[in-house]
Structure 1
């Protein structure tokens, strides 16, 4: 704990000395940067949890302009930007800052045929940071606030005659000058704080649906009974509609069920197979909207049977259980940043690479740290069998630290403004709604290290009630509120660098899962693979890979010693280097793995045994 405080003080002092920086216009590049086709980047279907064939990807070249905040739509634009890469990124082909005093405008001509206009035309945005106002043919069709959740508009009634339409988007993002969730973005990058991300950073696409259509699916596994509860969200008019679901196991039909509009569908699976990191079994779904015997709409989806709960060992200590079996969870802190795309992976292959490499190194879990990924990232975790702890992106960062981090005292929660609270609550709910589908997510983390932590008990209990199918880590490494003889939430989580420690089981008794939410941070800069040539940073630095590996082995030995004492999970910092941080398992460009993969995999195996 002492080391954590010293490290934070060091980072704070570095921040005071930092001057406003220009963007790094000559970054290192990942191997996938050269594979990006600017005319059609990230062409993959963006919503794997509910798939339709009839869609158009709008990624690629758009017009852009950066203008003073409050200006009207510009008459002329300043050049081309490659969507969906953030305007500050190399892959956007712009690499310009925006800031709170300006707005970023996008414009694109789109074509919609008469056949595509027979029903409804939906315009989807994977994510836009932070406030987006969307225009079709000069008319505003809606505004969205939230940098991490997907949103859409029905644009049918705003379309002009003919095929050609004009799409424009106005974006405002105050970065760390506003109270909104923004993770580690700051206007003056330094230390553990990184380059701002402004604007469209996930896929933009259109979908063509009938007048009556399936708008969404909520799929809930019931592992104990071998069933799925599927609640369709329907956009339908008058009439008797029903939804029919068929389940397939590797192409073989294994179950069918149906229900009338507004009713949940209970889908029984005979001889059910569980999902786990060792056996990530997925069932495929065909979902049809029926009116009488006629199929009105159809989508494809999938699901997995798994259950995450609390179990108790022979000493009465709480553990995490997957499908009724105790499982030690161990994974890296994964921040999801890229030297060329910042928040946006260059390609789907690149997005997948980090998960595959994490699995190859012998981890069974990833803590997605103060960032939310595109839906395809979670889909890959589902396919590969990777457990996920999902953080809420932090914001409104005034910290109120307890002298002994990890313990809560009354009055230490941050006082947020009504606007700030409303923004947090709205986006946290939107994130849970958007990513509820993915079985790989087993833990929600509302707060990290007291960053903007407020009304801890209320937010934690709301999260538990809103999604009782997952565990809740109320404040990873932050302040924890005592209620009776128990801490609020399911987990007591401390951070410590570099050595592993665990929360004291004697502090509150055996009433919470004990977790080491961050540790490690062993740094090794690799020449030719760093964000900047010098002044790179790690919690503890080494001269070569041999020294680094020797120190890591000692950390694992110490960690293994804590498991029989009650430690239920641990998170190592971190998956990759990020900007000036060099404490990754890999370099920022992903070209160098700093650890021997086979040896590390064998070392980690001992943690699970």
Structure 2
């Protein structure tokens, strides 16, 4: 009878073609979903490990994973704030020769994991994916995964827009604690592809591939086949010698099948090449992975931003990534609907603000044709601990974005948060520069903004935050480029463009936050920028006037409007709290598509 029960409890394999699959750019055929009902318990006295909760049977509540307990969808509905939470999930498993990986897409903040009471590993960082190889800890039949999460929500952690106070305030929102993105299992043969890094080179019409191969004690062949819209383009490969962990492939993507041209990725034509990786030897195919890439370049030149060597005028919208019933957790359908609305309103990109996007979100930007600014969530106190945490999690952020063609710019800090005295303190300036150089060392293919909005040190773009609600006043701030680039152009922040000892070096200029026009049903706690308009017409007129100021300033290379949706107490979205249009999208689109000094994608 026990064997029958165990068999019935075996996890069911799912096809990776499902929109629930958490890693669209690195697909194996099958995976195992661990989302759903887990056992759960708060540990406010920090007694769980001492009492052996990791050994099973001690958790007496339930939670819906992957939703933070603070969210409605978790079904916990607890309003008190707890620093330590525990999770437990049992599942049936049939052992095989394959290795098994346990994946967590994001857990906030410090995580410990046990499998059948044995320690599997730990991770620190609240926004990036991680995994453990757990094959040796599994057994035939019923297995148990136990997770302990500690989240102080400290100002020395990268917390982004999570409030570190008891209540929300201004533009800081409800906290997120624990598992808040999918948990899943994956089987691979002992010899397998661990990771790939794909770097397009449009001038050489080539793709450089660095492949990380695991588990081989004899030479194996790593092969890559490239297709475009179903047509074979090219095949390349190389042998990885015994013990060698990394191999580099160079793929010429030109072919008769593509009429001797390379199809570039851009917002107006988001062309994606499919690529199939195979790890094999003379007798055995060990691993197959399906992926994709885009051929595109991004650079700055003479004060302009170039995409594929063409001047690219960016029309971005700020996306905070919050949902009323699930906080920072979104389904594929929710993300897709949001990004389709972004396109419909005439924007050509998103600035993912103070949270790191789901890997499916990046896939959707790749597929739909939206450039993306990836941003590291901020900490809010300058200390040795906060610097270490920021450096570590930033490296993980860079790695998860590297292969996505939509990602063209990294923002490492925002508005001097966590480096509040960066204008004059050289040690804080050095830290921003350390983040900048780390990003450039890991990924030299993209542009990097060190401290977005003001008080720049090292940066590839001079970005300015200006929430001036008066178009005439705003226009006056940008009449004389030489005066404002080394001055204090924003009348709302009054901050200097550059920190002391730094100055303008010819970088492209962008207004990376503006607008923030609050409109909706305003309660006493509702928050937004500037004087409240009283009608939809007044909102649209202000939006049009402010946007025209930016578009008509010839040396400004683009903008980012604040923001996509209302979020909790903040009501300055073009979409409401439920992510529905506040205004007819064609009216927004008409404003966004007016002529500007740059290349416009229709």
TM-score (norm 2): 0.84
Describe the SS at the equivalent of 1:518.
Answer: strand
Task: Tell me the CA shift for residue 99 of structure 1.
Answer: 3.8
CA contact (8 A) 2:551 2:558 kept: no
Alignment partners' CA distance in 2, 1:567 and 1:95: 47
Residues 509 and 168 (structure 1 numbering): CA distance in 2 closer, same or farther, change over 3 Å? closer
Q: Work out whether 1:372 is the aligned partner of 2:356.
A: yes
Alignment partners' CA distance in 2, 1:551 and 1:166: 57
Aligned position for 2:289: 299
Describe the SS at the equivalent of 1:86.
Answer: coil
Describe the SS at the equivalent of 1:590.
Answer: coil
Deviations 1:71-112 (A, max 9, x none): 125453232111001110011111225646x31000010121
Describe the SS at the equivalent of 2:203.
Answer: helix
Q: Work out whether 1:321 is the aligned partner of 2:306.
A: yes
Describe the SS at the equivalent of 2:277.
Answer: strand
CA contact (8 A) 2:300 2:507 kept: no
Task: Tell me the CA shift for residue 461 of structure 1.
Answer: 2.2
CA contact (8 A) 1:518 1:573 kept: yes
Q: Work out whether 1:459 is the aligned partner of 2:435.
A: yes
Aligned position for 2:173: 194
Describe the SS at the equivalent of 1:494.
Answer: strand
Q: Which moved more, 1:75-84 or 1:442-451?
A: 75-84
Alignment partners' CA distance in 2, 1:228 and 1:376: 23
Aligned position for 2:94: 113
Which of the residues 500, 504, 513 maps onto 1:518?
513
Task: Tell me the CA shift for residue 248 of structure 1.
Answer: 0.8
Which of the residues 557, 562, 573 maps onto 1:584?
573
CA contact (8 A) 1:98 1:198 kept: no
Which of the residues 415, 419, 429 maps onto 2:385?
419
Task: Tell me the CA shift for residue 505 of structure 1.
Answer: 3.1
Q: Work out whether 1:476 is the aligned partner of 2:452.
A: yes
Which of the residues 205, 212, 229 maps onto 1:233?
212
Deviations 1:527-570 (A, max 9, x none): xxx8xx543121132222122112111112212221x1x11121
Correspondence 1:35-434 to 2 at 5 A = 44-72=20-48, 73-74=52-53, 75-97=57-79, 99=81, 102-114=83-95, 117-160=96-139, 162-175=140-153, 177-186=154-163, 187-261=166-240, 262-270=246-254, 271-292=261-282, 294-312=284-302, 318-345=303-330, 347-395=331-379, 397-398=380-381, 416-434=382-400
Describe the SS at the equivalent of 1:225.
Answer: coil
Residues 69 and 282 (structure 1 numbering): CA distance in 2 closer, same or farther, change over 3 Å? farther
Residues 210 and 69 (structure 1 numbering): CA distance in 2 closer, same or farther, change over 3 Å? farther
Deviations 1:357-409 (A, max 9, x none): 011100011111110011000000000110011111001x14xxxxxxxxxxx
Alignment partners' CA distance in 1, 2:341 and 2:35: 27
Residues 428 and 97 (structure 1 numbering): CA distance in 2 closer, same or farther, change over 3 Å? farther
Alignment partners' CA distance in 1, 2:510 and 2:158: 25
Describe the SS at the equivalent of 1:523.
Answer: coil
Alignment partners' CA distance in 2, 1:478 and 1:218: 33
CA contact (8 A) 2:563 2:574 kept: yes
Q: Work out whether 1:544 is the aligned partner of 2:514.
A: no
Aligned position for 2:584: 596
Deviations 1:128-154 (A, max 9, x none): 000110010111111100111100000
Describe the SS at the equivalent of 1:132.
Answer: strand
Alignment partners' CA distance in 1, 2:505 and 2:395: 30
Q: Work out whether 1:496 is the aligned partner of 2:466.
A: yes
Task: Tell me the CA shift for residue 309 of structure 1.
Answer: 0.7
Alignment partners' CA distance in 1, 2:81 and 2:391: 24
Deviations 1:21-68 (A, max 9, x none): xxxxxxxxxxxxxxxxxxxxx971100110011210101000110012
CA contact (8 A) 1:498 1:521 kept: no
Aligned position for 1:31: none
Aligned position for 2:560: 571
Task: Tell me the CA shift for residue 466 of structure 1.
Answer: 2.1
Deviations 1:426-458 (A, max 9, x none): 100011011211111100111000001332222
Work out which structure has the larger RCO, using CA pairs closer than 8 Å and 6 or more positions apart in sequence.
Answer: 1
Alignment partners' CA distance in 1, 2:325 and 2:98: 39
Q: CA RMSD in A?
A: 1.7
CA contact (8 A) 1:447 1:478 kept: no
Alignment partners' CA distance in 2, 1:43 and 1:188: 35
Aligned position for 2:257: none
Q: Which runs of 5+ in 2 are unaligned?
A: 1-17, 241-245, 255-260, 420-427, 487-502
TM-score (norm 1): 0.83
Which of the residues 525, 547, 552 maps onto 1:561?
552
Deviations 1:443-481 (A, max 9, x none): 011100000133222221222232110001111113212
Alignment partners' CA distance in 2, 1:213 and 1:96: 43
Alignment partners' CA distance in 2, 1:480 and 1:83: 40
Residues 69 and 185 (structure 1 numbering): CA distance in 2 closer, same or farther, change over 3 Å? farther
Q: How many residues end up aligned between the 2 structures?
A: 525
Describe the SS at the equivalent of 1:264.
Answer: strand
Task: Tell me the CA shift for residue 293 of structure 1.
Answer: 5.0
Describe the SS at the equivalent of 1:272.
Answer: coil
CA contact (8 A) 1:362 1:601 kept: yes
